[in-house]
Structure 1
Amino acid sequence: MSSQNDPNSSILTLDITGMTCASCVGRVEKALDRIPGVEAASVNLATEQAKVRLKANSETMLAGVIAAVQKTGYEAKLSTPHGNTQTKQSHSFWGSDGLARVLLSFTLSAPLFLPMFLMPFGIHWALSPKWQILLATPVQFILGWRFYKAGFKSLLAGAGNMDLLVALGTSAAYGLSVYQMIASPHASHELYFEGSTVIICMVLLGKWLEARAKQQTSEAIRALQKLWPENAKVLNPNVAIGEGTFLEQYHELPLDQVFPKDRILVLPGERIPVDGVIVFGNSHIDESLLTGESEPVKKLLGTKVIGGSLNGEGVLVIDAHAVGVESVLSQIITLVEDAQTQKAPIQKLVDRVSEIFVPSVIAIAIITGIANWFYLDSASIAILRAVSVLVIACPCALGLATPAAIMAGTGVAARFGILIKDPQVLELAHRLNIVAFDKTGTLTIGKPRVLAFIPVTDVSEENILLATAAGLQMGSEHPLAKALLDAAKDAGVKPIPPSDSQAIAGIGITGKPNSGPWAGQNIALQSVASLTGTGSWAEISSKVQPLLDAGQTVSILMNQELPPSPLAIIAFGDELKPNAKDAIHSLHQLHIRTVMLSGDNSAAANRVGQSIGIDKVFGQIMPSNKAEIILKLQTSSKEHPRQYVAMVGDGINDAPALATADVGMAMSTGTDVAMQAAGITLMRGDPSLVADAIDISKRTWKKIQQNLFWAFAFNSTGIPLAALGYLSPMLAGSAMALSSFCVLSNALLLKRWRPSHR
Structure 2
Amino acid sequence: MATAEKTEYRLENLTCASCAMKFENNVKNLPAIEDAQVNFGASKLSFNGSATVEELEAAGAFDGIKVVPLQVRRVEKKIPFFKRKENLVSLFSLVFLLIGSAVSFSYTETHPVAIAFFAVAIVVGGASIFKTGLKNLVRFEFDMKTLMTIAVIGAAIIGEWREGAVVVFLFAVSEALEAYSMNKARQSIRQLMDIAPPTAIVKRGEALVELATEDIIVGDILIVKPGQKIAMDGTVLTGSSTVNQAAITGESIPVLKEMGDGVFAGTLNEEGALEVKVTKLVGDTTIAKIIHLVEDAQAEKAPSQKFVDQFAKYYTPTIIVLAFLIAIVPPLFGGDWSTWIYQGLAVLVVGCPCALVVSTPVAIVTAIGNAARQGVLIKGGVHLEETGRLDAIAFDKTGTLTKGYPEVTNFLLSEGVEKAQLLGAVAAVEEMSQHPLAKAVTNYARENGATMSVATNFQSVTGKGVYADVEGKRVYVGSLSWAEELSSLPSDMLQQAAILQREGKSVMAIVMDTDFGGLLAVADPVREESQIVLQKLKDIGIRHTVMLTGDHQTTAEAIAEKLGVEDVRAGLMPEDKLTAIKQLSAQYGRVAMVGDGINDAPALAASSVGIAMGGAGTDAALETADIALMADDLEKLPYTMKLSRKTLRIIKENIMFALGLKIVALLLIIPGWLTLWIAIFADMGATLLVVLNSLRLLRVHK
TM-score range, shorter chain: 0.7 to 0.9
Equivalent position to 1:9, from 1, 5, 8: 5
Residues 1:149 and 2:131 aligned together: yes
Q: Distance in 1 between matches of 2:570 and 2:577?
A: 11
For structure 1, the 5+ residue unaligned runs are 1-6, 55-59, 119-123, 178-191, 239-248, 453-461, 474-478, 497-543, 555-569, 637-641
Q: Counterpart of 1:151 in 2: which secondary structure? A: helix
Give the match for residue 663 of structure 1: 609
Q: Counterpart of 2:400 in 1: which secondary structure? A: coil
Equivalent position to 1:203, from 154, 159, 171: 171
Give the match for residue 694 of structure 2: 747
What pairs with 1:290-305 in structure 2 (closer than 5 Å)?
A: 290-305=248-263
Equivalent position to 1:105, from 68, 93, 98: 93
Tell me by how many angstroms 1:665 deviates: 0.7
What pairs with 1:728-739 in structure 2 (closer than 5 Å)?
A: 728-739=675-686
Give the match for residue 551 of structure 1: 504
Tell me by how many angstroms 1:156 deviates: 4.7
Tell me by how many angstroms 1:379 deviates: 3.0
Q: Distance in 2 between matches of 1:41 and 1:716?
A: 35
Tell me by how many angstroms 1:337 deviates: 1.4
Residues 1:711 and 2:621 aligned together: no
Q: Distance in 1 between matches of 2:128 and 2:235?
A: 54
Contact 2:151 2:346 in 1 (8 A): yes
Contact 1:20 1:162 in 2 (8 A): no
For structure 2, the 5+ residue unaligned runs are 411-425, 445-451, 460-496, 508-519
Q: Distance in 1 between matches of 2:42 and 2:314?
A: 23
Residues 1:591 and 2:537 aligned together: no
Q: Counterpart of 2:690 in 1: which secondary structure? A: helix
What pairs with 1:135-284 in structure 2 (closer than 5 Å)?
A: 135-177=117-159, 192-238=160-206, 250-284=208-242
Residues 291-315 of structure 1 show CA distances to partners (whole Å, capped at 9, x for unaligned) of 2222333333432222111222322
Q: Counterpart of 1:732 in 2: which secondary structure? A: helix
Give the residue type in structure 2 aligned to 1:590.
I
Distance 1:285 1:376, change over 3 A: farther
Q: Distance in 2 between matches of 1:78 and 1:468?
A: 62
Contact 2:24 2:38 in 1 (8 A): yes
Equivalent position to 1:424, from 382, 386, 389: 382
Identity across the alignment (%): 29
Residues 344-403 of structure 1 show CA distances to partners (whole Å, capped at 9, x for unaligned) of 111122111222333222222221112443466433322322221111211111111101
Distance 1:628 1:159, change over 3 A: same
Residues 634-666 of structure 1 show CA distances to partners (whole Å, capped at 9, x for unaligned) of 114xxxxx4211111114111111111101111
Q: Distance in 2 between matches of 1:493 and 1:359?
A: 89
Give the match for residue 529 of structure 1: none
Contact 1:467 1:493 in 2 (8 A): no
Moved more, 720-729 or 741-750: 720-729
Contact 2:14 2:20 in 1 (8 A): no
Give the match for residue 133 of structure 1: 115
Contact 1:229 1:271 in 2 (8 A): yes
Distance 1:143 1:31, change over 3 A: closer
Give the match for residue 608 of structure 1: 559
Q: Counterpart of 2:531 in 1: which secondary structure? A: helix
Q: Counterpart of 1:635 in 2: which secondary structure? A: helix
Distance 1:687 1:330, change over 3 A: same
What pairs with 1:358-757 in structure 2 (closer than 5 Å)?
A: 358-374=316-332, 377-448=335-406, 549-552=502-505, 573-592=523-542, 593-636=544-587, 642-668=588-614, 671-722=618-669, 724-755=671-702
State the number of aligned residues. 626
Residues 259-302 of structure 1 show CA distances to partners (whole Å, capped at 9, x for unaligned) of 22222112222211112222233233222232222233333343
Contact 2:621 2:628 in 1 (8 A): no
Distance 1:676 1:430, change over 3 A: same
Q: Counterpart of 1:235 in 2: which secondary structure? A: strand
Tell me by how many angstroms 1:44 deviates: 4.8
Tell me by how many angstroms 1:230 deviates: 2.4
Contact 1:650 1:671 in 2 (8 A): no
Distance 1:153 1:626, change over 3 A: farther
Give the match for residue 70 of structure 2: 81
Q: Distance in 2 between matches of 1:485 and 1:42?
A: 57
Q: Counterpart of 2:386 in 1: which secondary structure? A: helix
Tell me by how many angstroms 1:622 deviates: 0.9
Distance 1:493 1:365, change over 3 A: farther
Tell me by how many angstroms 1:25 deviates: 5.7
TM-score (norm 1): 0.73
Distance 1:495 1:224, change over 3 A: farther
Contact 1:72 1:157 in 2 (8 A): no
Tell me by how many angstroms 1:719 deviates: 2.7
Give the residue type in structure 1 aligned to 2:70.
P
Contact 1:18 1:150 in 2 (8 A): no
Contact 2:89 2:172 in 1 (8 A): yes
Moved more, 693-702 or 362-371: 362-371
Tell me by how many angstroms 1:72 deviates: 11
Give the match for residue 513 of structure 1: none
Q: Distance in 1 between matches of 2:545 and 2:565?
A: 6
Distance 1:573 1:161, change over 3 A: same
Q: Distance in 1 between matches of 2:77 and 2:149?
A: 25
Tell me by how many angstroms 1:495 deviates: 14
Give the residue type in structure 2 aligned to 1:112.
G
Contact 1:264 1:317 in 2 (8 A): yes
Contact 2:97 2:166 in 1 (8 A): yes
Tell me by how many angstroms 1:115 deviates: 6.7
Q: Counterpart of 2:158 in 1: which secondary structure? A: helix
Distance 1:389 1:69, change over 3 A: farther
Tell me by how many angstroms 1:13 deviates: 5.9
Tell me by how many angstroms 1:218 deviates: 1.3
Distance 1:86 1:145, change over 3 A: farther
Q: Counterpart of 1:367 in 2: which secondary structure? A: helix
Q: Counterpart of 2:599 in 1: which secondary structure? A: helix
Q: Counterpart of 1:747 in 2: which secondary structure? A: helix
Distance 1:735 1:483, change over 3 A: same
Contact 1:234 1:262 in 2 (8 A): yes
Distance 1:86 1:253, change over 3 A: closer
Residues 420-476 of structure 1 show CA distances to partners (whole Å, capped at 9, x for unaligned) of 112112222232121111122212222336999xxxxxxxxx9xx999995xx9xxx
Distance 1:12 1:495, change over 3 A: farther
Tell me by how many angstroms 1:631 deviates: 0.7
Distance 1:255 1:32, change over 3 A: closer
Tell me by how many angstroms 1:222 deviates: 1.4
Moved more, 297-306 or 325-334: 297-306
Distance 1:723 1:195, change over 3 A: farther
What pairs with 1:87-98 in structure 2 (closer than 5 Å)?
A: 87=76, 98=86
Give the match for residue 508 of structure 1: none
Give the residue type in structure 2 aligned to 1:664.
G
Q: Counterpart of 2:130 in 1: which secondary structure? A: helix
Distance 1:439 1:492, change over 3 A: farther
Alpha carbon RMSD of aligned pairs, Å? 4.1
Distance 1:36 1:132, change over 3 A: closer
Give the match for residue 560 of structure 1: none
TM-score (norm 2): 0.79
